[in-house]
Each structure stands twice: as C-alpha cells, then as structure tokens.
Chains A and B, each alone.
Chain A
C-alpha cells in the first residue's frame, strides 16, 4: 500500500488563534488569550478561581471572532459534582448571543476510562471548539495505588488522554483547558518541579511530573490573605489573587493580579 508522504507546513502560515478570557487585562497578560490547538492547564488550590475562569471561558467561546471568541459552542466535562449552574447563570459578558446556555454542553465524567471513551466518541461533526475538563486531578484521586505498576498505568492514561485532547485541538483548532489541584510539599525535594506558594502553603501541581509533560501551558492561580489599612484607618483583611505563567511556549514567566466579582473574573491592572 503506497502511503502519501507527510507534507511539511510553513510556519509563516501557522497562526495561533486565541480565545478571549472576557477581560482585556487578562487577555493581554496571556498574550491574547487561551491559545487554540494546545492544552492549557489552570492549577490551584480549592477556591483559587479555577472553575470561575472555566465558566467564563464557556461563555466567551460563544462570542464572535471579532470580539475574541470562537463563535462556537463549548463542552464542559466536570468530575466533581455538583455542576455550578447557579454561578454560570450569574456570569455575563456583553454581546452574547441570545440564550447562551443553549450552546454550553455539560457532561459528568468520574473515571479516566470514561473520559477516554467520551473523547474517542466525540463526533467530528460536533462543532465544539472549547473543551474544558474540571478537574483532571479528581479523576485520578482514588483509582490508583502508589505501586510502580499502578503509577505506570496511570501515566500511560495521562499520555492517552493528552494525545486525544491534542488531536481534537489540532483538528478543530479548539482550545483545551484542564484544571488541576495542588498537593503540599512535605520534603525539601519537589521532584524537579519548582514549588509555588498559595495561602502560605508550599505546593506543587498534583499528578506529578508525567502529567506536567502532557500540557503545553501551565497557569497557576494563587491567593493570599493579609491585613491592610483602609482609607479610614481601620485594619481589614484583604485577599489577593494572582495568576502566574509557570511555563508556556510563547510567554515568559510572569504574574498578574485578578479579582472575582459578581459577573465574572477580571484582571487588576
């Protein structure tokens, strides 16, 4: 059987579309938004704002390209019920099409094999150009023991899931966003990954080194509490949220402050 020789592409014609986060400050921080065609990971402790950001992306994907969107429905795969429907209802972006929630597909998946079969059976005709998995860590929380055999099959699953997602991302020019938990660092060693600080804890992303090879861009969300003196002289507690680029093929390491308000997530510039 004669096979068709692979054809090289000209990088001049490789343009990476970016999906807007719905906030100009955050967009410029991420070089235009979430890159299509690869996997972006949002990692952070619980209530760091990962899900908030994901929900906002589900809506911004519906926006027309002129506003930084993809004019495309989005798929939200969640592994930690319940689905935050009320929060999604409160979010709003200007210029959304009528009945935006008609264009957000939602699916529960609680097992890695289930996720794999779901991704394998996504029809190419389904024009979804944003896939969110919230969270990847919860899928692997209880299924595996800390034995070499289990760790090996676990990392093999990571690479399978990542390959499926990247395939989809490439074929449809889709943006893929996955969220991940953090684990505390107990020893001085962090196994090659550099430690990060959140709420005064020293943490590293969950799922280890193998998974970190599976994502293209890693964005870390942190929060910290501190005391500050307000204008009338009273001491009050302030919570600062920050977003850090840990690694990315086209962005330097950097960070920016953000806030979560009633109608969504906003950068603080």
Chain B
C-alpha cells in the first residue's frame, strides 16, 4: 500500500498533507479539491495537482493488484489494499456518503428502504449518473444498469440530474464550462444507463439470471440498481415459504455478481407497518429472512419536514443518522437555508 511519503510531490505539500491527517493514498480518494485546499491552506490549483498525482499513483497500484489477482494468490493484506484503492460511488451528498463509509461501495449489496416520496428513485437515478463521473474527476467512469419494476424512472429527471452532476464536478475541479469534453454531455450519461423495465416477478427473476451473461459483455458496468426489488413480490405469494426461497436465490446471485464483477448492487425496498409489542412501527418489506441478504442497509425517513438517512446494518460502520435533501439538481447535503415551508 502506498503512503503519502512516497508521492512525487513537494516536501512542503507532503508535510502539510501529513499534518492535516492525510497519511494514506486512500484517504485522498474521497476528498474534493476544495476540501483539500481548505484543509491544507493551499490554493485550489495546488490541491487539484496533488489529487491528480495521487490518483495516478492509485491507478498504478490497482494495476499491480490485478497482476497479483491473476496469479490467483491474494492475501488479506492484498485484499485490504485493493479495497482501499477501489473508488466509492458518491450519492451527491457528502453527509450521506459518510454514513456509507465514503459512498456506495463496490463488491457489496446495499439495500435502501423508505416510504414513497422519500427519495429512493431520486437516489437511484443519482447513483446511475454519478457512477459515470470520469476517473480523473474522482469517479469510477463506469456504466449503470437500472432495473425499474415500478415505472418511476423518468428520463427527463435523469437528464436534469446528469446536467447538474457534470456542472458540479467540473466546478469542484475549478474547470471552466467551455473545457467540458464533448463526451461528458448529459446525453451520453443517459445513453450509458442500460434501462430494463420489468413487469412481473418472473421477468425479474429471468433478468437477474441473465445479468451475468450481460455483464460479461459489458464489463464497464459498475452499478446495478433495482428500483424496487419488492414491488412484484407483494402479490400472488400465498405461500411465504416459496417467496422466501425465491428471494433467497435472487439475493445470492446478486451478491455473487457484485463480487465477481467488482460492482455495486443497490436494492430499493418498500416499507410496511409491523405490529409488535402492542404498537405499529415501520419496517422494511419482504420479511426477516430477507434482511440477511444485503451487506449494508440504510433506511430513509422523514423527521418533520426533513429527510434523514439511518444506517441500520453494516459489517464495519457504526449505526448513524444524517440529514440530506432532494433538490432540483438531485441528492445534496441539507443546508439550513433551504428548509422547506410547512405545507398548509
């Protein structure tokens, strides 16, 4: 694993990085140039240069890791460094990224649940766009598969989110709008989403069985979003044992795909009310055995008029709750001045 001390940058930058707490390359992978320039008290352009150097070093490291992997020998140490070199997919909100541990992780299955209107579809579209942010701009430069079971995906909304995401990314790197390359237009971001509309649970199962073949042909896909995994499983299942088995098989396949193709799987889930200990409370749909089928679980909920996200399950992160908002540009941090007026 590469340390800051071996980065080809000036000695003063190196000491500034170390004293600001950036000791490893991975600690630089999720930081924006603006943030870095503030933390180091250097000019924005200097921060951009540091990040450019570090991302190039990161890439070299990934290639080295691949060679190791091909030999079939991989120690836990290799796995750790490979994982740290992996980029995460940003949700568009730094606060929301933080409860996921820096963004949505590849090789993992993440489940996101919440009431209608809380922003599950918005987050899904945002991730399908943000996964495409080029590597040089802190993204993964990947493509997305969007599996729509509810009919809520709207291309015009995806276009708005793509436009805002491109602008914000360039803005963060201090680039002028005229420097935006032709291929980074909202149109090409939309065209890089493979959209599947699913109308029954049999279609859903058939598609998930076919995904492996599709992914072999499209290795640049870095995220699979199913919005929602639940809809078609809430009817026609009188025998819950069969449903549990079908869902179990599906989640196993998705976990394997996430690992094999080093991509992120995001499953949107609905919520339902459950009666326990004399009162009703909200819980995610599909039952208790389903809750074992994802690596991470985040619940989106209303707190008054504010949207919050709660990390309910994670193998290594603490349960935490953050405030986020859905804006015209997409998912963003909640700021106090954009507090919504209570509906009368």
Contact = CB atoms under 8 A, between A and B. Distances in A.
A19 to B, nearest CB: 15
Given A5-B213, A249-B152, A163 B232 contact: yes
B121 interface: yes
- Interface SS of B by simple majority: mixed
B194 A250 contact: no
Contacts of A15: 155
Interface in B174-226: 187, 190-191, 193-197, 199-200, 203, 206-207, 210, 213-214
B155 A191 contact: no
Nearest to B234: A159
Interface stretch (B69-77, B96-104, B265-273): B265-273
B191 A209 contact: no
B153 interface: yes
Interface residues of B, number: 54
Given A6-B210, A160-B235, A252-B328, A209 B271 contact: yes
Contacts of A11: 146, 153, 155, 158, 190-191, 193, 195
Label chain A's interface by main secondary structure. Answer: mixed
A33 interface: no
Contacts of A218: 116-117
Contact of A216 (B151, B187, B207, B275): B151
Interface stretch (A70-78, A105-113, A136-144, A165-173): A165-173
A8 interface: yes
Nearest to B279: A189
Contacts of B44: none
A104 interface: no
B157 A250 contact: yes
Contact of A8 (B121, B196, B280, B282): B196
A197 B344 contact: yes
B7 interface: no
A192 to B, nearest CB: 4
B339 interface: no
B170 interface: no
Nearest to A160: B235
A215 B271 CA distance: 14
A100 B153 CA distance: 33
A207 to B, nearest CB: 12
Contacts of B340: 253
A6 B206 CA distance: 8
B288 interface: no
B83 interface: no
B302 interface: yes
A212 interface: yes
B155 A16 contact: yes
B197 A170 contact: yes
Contact of A5 (B156, B194, B210, B272): B210
A10 B190 contact: yes
B156 A250 contact: yes
Interface string B315-341: 000000000001110000000000010
Contact of A9 (B196, B214, B301): B196
- Pick the most buried of B191, B200, B214, B273: most chain A CB atoms within 10 A of its CB: B273
Given A8-B194, A11-B155, A12-B191, A249 B210 contact: no
28 contacts: A5-B210, A6-B207, A6-B210, A10-B190, A10-B193, A11-B155, A11-B190, A12-B190, A14-B195, A35-B154, A157-B235, A163-B232, A167-B199, A170-B199, A191-B280, A192-B282, A197-B343, A197-B344, A210-B272, A213-B116, A213-B270, A218-B117, A224-B344, A246-B117, A249-B153, A250-B154, A252-B326, A253-B343
Interface of B: 115-117, 121-122, 145-146, 150-158, 187, 190-191, 193-197, 199-200, 203, 206-207, 210, 213-214, 230-232, 234-236, 270-273, 275, 280, 282, 301-302, 305, 326-328, 340, 343-344
Interface of A: 3, 5-6, 8-12, 14-16, 31, 35, 37-39, 148, 155-157, 159-160, 163, 166-167, 169-170, 189, 191-194, 196-197, 208-210, 212-213, 215-216, 218, 224, 244, 246-247, 249-250, 252-253, 255
